[in-house]
Amino acid sequence: MLDSLFPQFIAGLARGMLYFLVASGLSLVFGVLGVVNFAHGAMYMLGAFLCYSLMKTLVILGEFNYWATLIVAPILVAIIAGIIERIALRRIYDAEHVYHLLLTWAFVYIIGDLSKIFWGTMPLIIRKPSLVIGSVSFLGATIPGHYIYIVILSIVVGLGLWFFLYGTKYGNLIRAAAEDPEMTRALGINCDRLYLAVFMIGCWLAAIGGVAGATMLAPVVGMDIDIVIPAFIIVVVGGLGSVLGALIGSLLIGLVESFGVLLIPRLSVVLIFAVMAFVLIIRPSGLFGEPEER
């Protein structure tokens, strides 16, 4: 039993960090735009599918095609997200939550179905770069390379995000807009453009998750729902709008899932929902969230 605890911990950590890439964007978008984006999982899925296609296109680059994809695919997804924000989302920022939910829900259908048309319904196999293949022995356990890769990538991206939000002028503006949009606007800041940027960054993060996750899970239609539900649970547990909350929530949910399979396999899926319900009953706005006014 004890022998299996450590590998299970590492698996949970990798899973949690993958969740963090997706959930941090979701949380950021909610914090600034006040929109709960159901289509966030669809962006993750698009990232993974574009990774597959781009790797085929960029095959001349040899081993580097994956790394080039890691840069290009999220940017493409961010552009798509920008178009969605421009055309549809920005018209309903002032509307009630239910319209946000339903509009982004509509994009779940649209992107899901378009992906089915372009990439079919079978799981796609991605040729992993050599750096990610193989495994490392550590404390008597064998750790697959893609676990390490995902953890390191998430840490780098997470630190980058933290630096961006707290160390740059643009990040400060974003935090100001999240805190008090009216005042920010009064100071002459173009909030529309800021919202566009935040939505694109959020979806960009999801797409990085998709490209990174493609080394662990084969991209397939339906993976958007598979990730968006845990991502929701994470941001709700951590507190909507809090990136730190998203990190804590991601690790918590990742580890709970991982150990849940080991300890009570029959109820593993139930467990994360139980954790969420439990946290929300005790703290209705999540661990790091601020209570909603209405």
Provide the binding-site residues for another protein, judged by CB under 8 A. Answer: 36, 88, 91-92, 95-99, 101-103, 105-110, 112-114, 116-117, 225, 229, 232-233, 236, 240, 266-270, 273-274, 276-277, 280-281, 284-286, 292, 294
* Nearest-approach distance from CB 270 to another protein, in angstroms: 4
* Ordered DSSP codes for 174-200: HHHHHH-HHHHHHTT--HHHHHHHHHH
Nearer to another protein, 188 or 265 (CB): 265
Question: Which of 174, 279 has the CB closer to another protein?
Answer: 279
Q: Among 114, 115, 209, which residue's Cα sits nearest to residue 153?
A: 209
Going by C-alpha positions, the residue among 198, 230, 223, 216 that lies closest to residue 46 is 223
CB of 230 vs another protein, minimal distance in Å: 10
- CA-derived radius of gyration, the chain: 19
Least distance in angstroms from the C-beta of 266 to another protein: 6
Q: Minimal distance in Å, beta carbon 56 to another protein?
A: 24
Q: Are 230 and 253 in contact (CB under 8 A)?
A: yes
Rounded to whole angstroms, the Cα distance separating 237 from 22 reads 15
CA angle, 13 then 202 then 166, to 5°: 80
Nearer to another protein, 81 or 212 (CB): 81
Whichever of 7 and 112 has its CB closer to another protein, that residue is 112
